[in-house]
Amino acid sequence: MPSEKHRVSVVLLTKNSAKTVNKALESIFAQTRKPDEVIVVDGNSTDGTLEIVNRYPIKLVTEPGLGFGYARNLGVQTAEGDIICFIDSDCYAEPNWIEKTLRHFDNPEIAGVTGPTNLWNTESMVARFLALVGGRVRMPTKEFFMKIAPTMNLAVRKDVVSEVDGFDETLVRCEDTELTYNISKHYKILYDPEAVMWFRGSPNFKTASKKCVNHFIGVGQLFAKHGFNPAFVRLNLPVRGFLLIAAILSLFFAPWYVPVALFFILLVEFVYKTIKMYARFRDSSVVYYVVFFTFWSLVSFAIFYGYLLGLRQKNKRRISDERLGGRD
């Protein structure tokens, strides 16, 4: 079979994942095409995660909490396979996930394969809402090539990961965004609708908000490193945040008609988007648009902190390179 041309290493990151990791590992070891090895990179879990993962024939690697980029690079470095399959600890794969992704690697132009990421935690309204606005409901049913893919559902050639210098360990988040963006400059990343992954999503408002902050910090770092690129983020949240702040400030510093106009624009967009989404999905979770239009819009300003952080890191790299060049 074509799949036997390759050795497959599954890389799974964990940290206090006792509630979900067993389901993830069960799905990996139930694959129609078994992985050649499974590597668990654990960030010093304290909730019983290690007891669960050690029930399975895995390679366990511990990382000291240096971030997602460092942990994923450690998994890649440990892997002996030529194909790396990434999965998150709160996900589970369909039984033919590896089989469906692996068949495409006979084409040398394809360096990565991803597929649908469907929500399994449908009891959480927050998770359902974020799946709706994130485009993870009714995902595409045809193959196409994409520039950016998530590591919760990604198979990729190990040598290509090394070729693009792996994951940037300085990024707070969006390390998978940058990796696949760099790969797609030289190779193709295929979306296969049959390579299906199920994910938990953020189970509550606190977790979702924390992820939102870290995401926008990572986006800001990417802007500092690569320049502005709309492929990294949809700017509707920060734009809406600016309008919201402008509207609030105009209550004190502008004629009455300015805040009226700004709040009217925001209200019209809010009502339109809410009705449109409810009409499409018939899901009560659209009530979270209230939060999406207010708090998370303001949280998106973390992108500016990320940008400043990225500029600082970029300057440090430049100084380091100059010093090394001077020694030569």
In angstroms, rounded to a whole number, what is the distance separating the alpha carbons of residues 237 and 235?
A: 5
pLDDT for the residue numbered 1: 40
Q: What is the mean pLDDT of residues 298-322?
A: 89
Q: What is the CA radius of gyration of the chain?
A: 21
In angstroms, rounded to a whole number, what is the distance separating the alpha carbons of residues 206 and 141?
A: 33
Q: What is the mean pLDDT of residues 286-307?
A: 87
Q: Is 78 exposed, middle or buried (0-12, 13-18, 19+ CB in 10 A)?
A: middle
The predicted model scores a pTM of 0.90
**238, 303 Cβ separation under 8 angstroms:** yes
| pLDDT value at 292 more than 80 | no
**Residue (of 120, 150, 152) closest to 12 by Cα position:** 152
Q: What are the boundaries of each domain within the chain? A: 2-202, 211-327
Identify any residues that bridge with 91 across adjacent strands, giving them in sequence order: 199
**Quick one: 2-202 is in which CATH superfamily?**
Spore Coat Polysaccharide Biosynthesis Protein SpsA; Chain A (3.90.550.10)
pLDDT tens-digit readout, 199-212: 999 888 888 889 99
Max CA pair span of the chain: 73
pLDDT for the residue numbered 2: 40
pLDDT tens-digit readout, 89-100: 999 999 999 999
| pLDDT value at 217 more than 90 | yes
pLDDT tens-digit readout, 143-174: 999 999 999 999 999 999 999 999 999 999 99
pLDDT band at 239 (very low <50, low <70, confident <90, very high): confident
| pLDDT value at 114 more than 50 | yes
> What angle in degrees, to the nearest 10, is found between the helix axes of 205-226 and 125-133?
30
pLDDT for the residue numbered 328: 57
**79, 9 Cβ separation under 8 angstroms:** yes
Phi, psi of 123 (to 5 degrees): -75, -20
